Amino acid sequence: MNRKIRSVAILGGGPAASVLATLLVRAGLRVAIFHVPKIQPLTVGESLVPAVVLYIRLLGVEDEVRSFSQFKPGATVNLNERVDFHIKFADIRGPMPTYAYNVPRDKFDVTVLNAARKAGVKVFEFAAKVEKIPGTDKIKLADETIAAAENYFDGQPDMIVDATGRIRMLPKLLGIGAREGGRKDTALFAHVDKAYIKHEGHIHTTRIDHGLSWRIPLPGKVSVGIVIAPEHLAKFGATKEERYDNLLKQDSVLAEATKGATRLTPVVEHLNYQLVSERLYGENWALVGDTAGFIDPVFSSGLFLSMQGATWLAKTILNGSDRAYEKYQRDCLHHLGCWQEIVKGFYDGRLFNTIYFGEKMEKKYWWIRAMSPWYRNHFGKIFSGALSNSDFSIGMMRWVADYSAKRENHELLRIR
């Protein structure tokens, strides 16, 4: 079947929706976003990877994003005395930008949504109601939504895209299952006035007594997040605020990193950080962004996957063929699977064990010293977004991690 799409309704107004809508309008389609402006300014995904810079350039908003963001030249990982590792994006050879940004998400999301508006996308600031058409795999906007939108589509839109993120409107309506990750962590995060930053502008990912923490420098403040298993979290208090504040005081790593810090915002809590939908499209609908799948905040992949998926879906909708939709689903699920493997290797200690083991072997063997720059460059390209869905690069990383784990105790780097 070849879908001839002339109009698209997008549910949700985050970055994935904005990128998709902008590209479709530029191609001549009639597009509307249904979006309820967020009251809470804090959103996971404040630290960007270099690949995202390509998408904000595509929208024409890099200068504006730069004006309110923290320049990000690299990333730092500290697990213990074995691994205190940092990547400078400028040292990674390849086509990607040599920098990224740490962004206040409230300003960032407004900026990319306004870019969609300027391109000609209609934004309705209310939630759309969607109904399933009985006996089919099709959905429609409810009559009241059509009326509230003043019949913008002259009837029903040809395609409805769910970009509602964790709300997962269409998966819930259609009974689409999801594949969960192996961990059931809780994430708490807030902004504080200060925290220790070893390398200016870097996101700092640190192993704590139980779980991990991120520190993201933003203009005038630092985003401090904690990812921790529920069985460890309960002993720090009854409310999310109590738990967060007590963790900053009582965890041995956080107490040092945030000494003297004052919390500036309410605490945001998220559950289940790994969720991938089993289906990403149907007869007149598709999923994009976090609705399609979200893996983990640890390597800042969320916005990258969302915005990349939006560009893929735009091409798919313009193509319209079954083969194009099958490829869209296959490519998205494959890339999400790659990041699941990367994240799993981080949590079980095998990923950065390769760095520690490699440094030991460099001292013993000339040929490993000769290969090390090539491997490190591939390693950097994976985390910058350039090669994160490359079967060769992921396979090479897997082989090196397996080899290293057999010869060096990676359990010492496991996230507890």
Q: In the predicted model, is pLDDT for residue 275 greater than 90?
A: no
The percentage of the chain sitting over the pLDDT mark of 70, rounded to a whole number, equals: 99
DSSP assignment of 234-284 equals GGG-SSHHHHHHHHHHHSHHHHHHTTT--B-SPPEEEE---EEES--B-SS
Cα–Cα–Cα angle for 10, 272, 256, rounded to 5 degrees: 115
The 3-class SS string of 96-154 reads CCCCEEECCHHHHHHHHHHHHHHHCCEEECCCCCEEECCCCCCEEECHHHHHHCCCCCC
| pTM for this predicted structure | 0.94
| 223's tokens | 């985003």
Q: How does the average pLDDT of the chain come out, rounded?
A: 92
DSSP letter at 209?
A: S
pLDDT digits (tens, 9 = 90+) for 195-223: 999 999 999 999 999 999 999 999 999 99
Are 182 and 344 in contact by the 8 Å Cβ rule? The answer is yes
Give the H or E element holding residue 315.
Answer: helix 302-319
- Cα of first residue to Cα of last residue in the chain, in angstroms, is 50
pLDDT band for position 154 (cuts 50, 70, 90): very high
Of the given ranges (57-66, 103-112, 228-237), which has the lowest mean pLDDT? 228-237
For the residues 38-49, what does the mean pLDDT come to?
A: 84
Pairwise CA distance, residues 312 & 310, whole Å? 5
For the residues 15-41, what does the mean pLDDT come to?
A: 93
pLDDT score at 182: 74
Pairwise CA distance, residues 140 & 282, whole Å? 12
For the residues 51-74, what does the mean pLDDT come to?
A: 97
pLDDT digits (tens, 9 = 90+) for 256-269: 999 999 999 999 99
pLDDT digits (tens, 9 = 90+) for 336-388: 999 999 989 888 989 888 888 888 888 888 888 888 888 888 788 888 888 88
For the residues 268-282, what does the mean pLDDT come to?
A: 87
More confident residue, 44 or 313: 313
pLDDT score at 273: 66
pLDDT score at 30: 97
pLDDT band for position 38 (cuts 50, 70, 90): confident
Phi-psi region of 155 (alpha: psi -120 to 50; beta: other; left: phi over 0): left
- Longest CA–CA span in the chain (Å) reads 73
DSSP assignment of 318-387 equals HH-BHHHHHHHHHHHHHHHHHHHHHHHHHHTSHHHHHHHHHHHHHTT-HHHHHHHHHHHHHHHHHHHTSS
Angstrom distances, CA of residue 274 to CA of 113, 207, 280, 290, 304:
26, 19, 16, 10, 16
pLDDT score at 386: 85
In the chain, the domains with their CATH numbers are 7-69+104-179+275-340 (3.50.50.60), 186-271 (3.30.9.100), 346-413 (no CATH)
pLDDT band for position 1 (cuts 50, 70, 90): low
pLDDT score at 299: 82
Q: In the predicted model, is pLDDT for residue 2 greater than 80?
A: no
pLDDT score at 272: 64
Contacts of 367 (CB under 8 A, 6+ apart): none
Backbone angles phi, psi at 137, to 5 degrees: -100, 20
Residues forming beta bridges with residue 131, ordered by sequence position? 140
Are 55 and 363 in contact by the 8 Å Cβ rule? The answer is no
Q: In the predicted model, is pLDDT for residue 181 greater than 90?
A: no
The residue type of 356 is Y
Are 281 and 176 in contact by the 8 Å Cβ rule? The answer is no
Q: Which residue has the tokens 């390693």?
A: 379
pLDDT score at 10: 98
Give the H or E element holding residue 30.
Answer: strand 30-34
pLDDT score at 322: 94
